[in-house]
């Protein structure tokens, strides 16, 4: 089973408060209807790729809770509650706990030390990479590595490039041998066992693509990247991300995905 083989996904409908979501750079607020439409297109793409999608109700008290990947990490055998690095997101994991307990035999609480965001965690065929960032500190990364080790999963702590919000902002897994990476991460030796395909200049944000079964979801505002991937034989699905991009989001963060054990 490949790490991008999924048949289950959990998403959360964006609340109206999403327009006030966190962002590193102010590019104006997204519109609620715009985010809602992009989220709906995303859910449709997951379903078209063969994934059964369950939709959770919005949490108005947490503007960023639509990005359900950040407060948890899921595998077929267990879910791990994380500790997001932003103060305003600290309650999201607890709010998600009951939903995960309904779907996983084991739900593991994060150690009461450090911080870790799901956007900094990349599962590859050989190991789980944990990127240090403004949202994931070394204490949290090492604590998470310990939890992963208890599940029999190898983990490695790596550096996120300066100025990059999350590790997966700058990279995504295309197949069992290839990473899509933005220029700041290219050639840094982070992926010694994998090849690197670098996004074109000006399309760095396209690096946050999402491989789901036999398809690769890519932001539709990155046509050169989509063209490169299509030319290499990938089944590319362009999706709108202009609104969620205003609150520093991409395609990986809007779902928790797993293969039923």
Q: Which of 49, 253, 254, 256 is catalytic?
A: 253
Q: Which of 83, 166, 215, 246 is catalytic?
A: 166
Half-sphere exposure of 31 (CA within 13 A, CB side): 5
Classify 58 as helix, strand or coil: coil
Residues in the chain: 261
State how far the Cα of 158 lies from the Cα of 141, in Å rounded to an integer: 9
What separation in angstroms does the CA of 138 have from each of 51, 115, 120, 128, 228?
A: 34, 8, 12, 15, 35
Quote the tokens at residue 3.
């790490």
Q: Note if 171 is an active site residue.
A: no
Q: What string of DSSP letters covers 1-12?
A: --TT--SEEEEE
The catalytic residues are: 166, 253
């Amino acid at each position: 089973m490949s790490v991008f083989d999924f048949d289950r996904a959990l998403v959360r409908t964006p609340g109206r408060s999403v327009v006030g979501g966190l962002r590193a750079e102010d590019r104006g607020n997204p519109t609620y209807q715009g985010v809602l439409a992009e989220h709906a297109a995303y859910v449709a793409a997951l379903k078209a790729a063969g994934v059964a999608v369950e939709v959770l109700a919005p949490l108005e008290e947490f503007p960023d809770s639509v990005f359900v990947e950040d407060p948890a990490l899921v595998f077929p055998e267990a879910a791990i509650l994380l500790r997001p690095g932003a103060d305003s997101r600290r309650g999201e994991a607890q709010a998600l706990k009951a939903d995960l307990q309904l779907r996983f035999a084991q739900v593991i609480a994060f150690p009461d030390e450090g911080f870790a965001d799901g956007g900094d965690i990349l599962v590859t065929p050989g190991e789980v990479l944990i990127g240090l960032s403004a949202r994931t500190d070394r204490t949290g990364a090492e604590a998470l590595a310990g939890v992963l080790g208890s599940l029999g999963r190898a983990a490695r702590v790596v550096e996120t490039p300066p100025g990059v919000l999350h590790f997966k902002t700058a990279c995504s897994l295309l197949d069992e041998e290839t990473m899509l990476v933005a220029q700041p991460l290219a050639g840094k030796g982070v992926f010694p066992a994998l090849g690197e395909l670098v996004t074109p200049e000006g399309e760095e944000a396209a690096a946050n693509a999402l491989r789901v079964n036999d398809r690769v979801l890519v932001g539709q505002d990155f046509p050169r990247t989509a063209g490169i991937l299509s030319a290499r034989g990938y089944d590319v699905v362009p999706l709108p991300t202009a609104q969620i991009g205003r609150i520093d989001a991409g395609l990986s963060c809007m779902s928790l995905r797993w293969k039923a054990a």
